[in-house]
Amino acid sequence: MRKTTYKENKMKDKKFAPITELRFKIVGVAIKTLDRLGTAHPEEVYDSIFRVDLEKAGLDVTNKPKLLLKDANGKVVKTYLPDLRVRHEGLSVLVELKADPQGLQASHKRQAKAYLSSSQKDQAVFLINFGCKKKNTPEVDSIFRRDL
């Protein structure tokens, strides 16, 4: 079991923007999931278990929310299915999970940007890679609206 660091304990005392606090909460759950499972599983395993762990942490989770990209006439030209939508205290973010031993790639970030540009409900996309063996924590990247 991983111990909390001095930095993590100091961060508990500070006040952060709500989106940052939500990110901390989601990443904290991801760390616990990775501690329990390790890095050897396919993405579907992390998807199922992480979703339950998020719900147990008190977060509202939707599996595979539909994001519809429409043209100027309202015709759907593409349907995206990100892994999760997490809602908490008026915020909504998408979470895209990976289990890639090579780490997060540029293609993963493009995928996250496509999701965010197709959704008006979500403030950010958090990319979480459980497959990177180089670290004891999941690799995480965040894409915010300002990054589009």
DSSP readout, 66-98?
Answer: -EEEE-TTS-EEEEE--SEEEEETTEEEEEEEE
pTM across the whole model: 0.86
Does residue 133 have a pLDDT over 60? yes
Does residue 81 have a pLDDT over 90? yes
Dihedral sign of CA atoms 128, 21, 84, 73 in order: negative
CATH number at residue 117: 3.40.1350
Structure tokens at 78: 């593409």
Q: Which domain holds residue 83?
A: 6-147
In a domain, 1, yes or no: no
In a domain, 26, yes or no: yes
Q: What does residue 65 show for φ and ψ, rounded to 5 degrees?
A: -65, 140
- 4 band by pLDDT with thresholds 50, 70 and 90: low
pLDDT tens across 13-33, in order?
Answer: 566 799 999 999 999 999 999
User: How many domains does the chain fold into?
Assistant: 1
More confident residue, 50 or 11: 50
Q: Please provide the average confidence, as pLDDT, over all residues in the chain.
A: 90
What is the three-class DSSP state of 130? coil
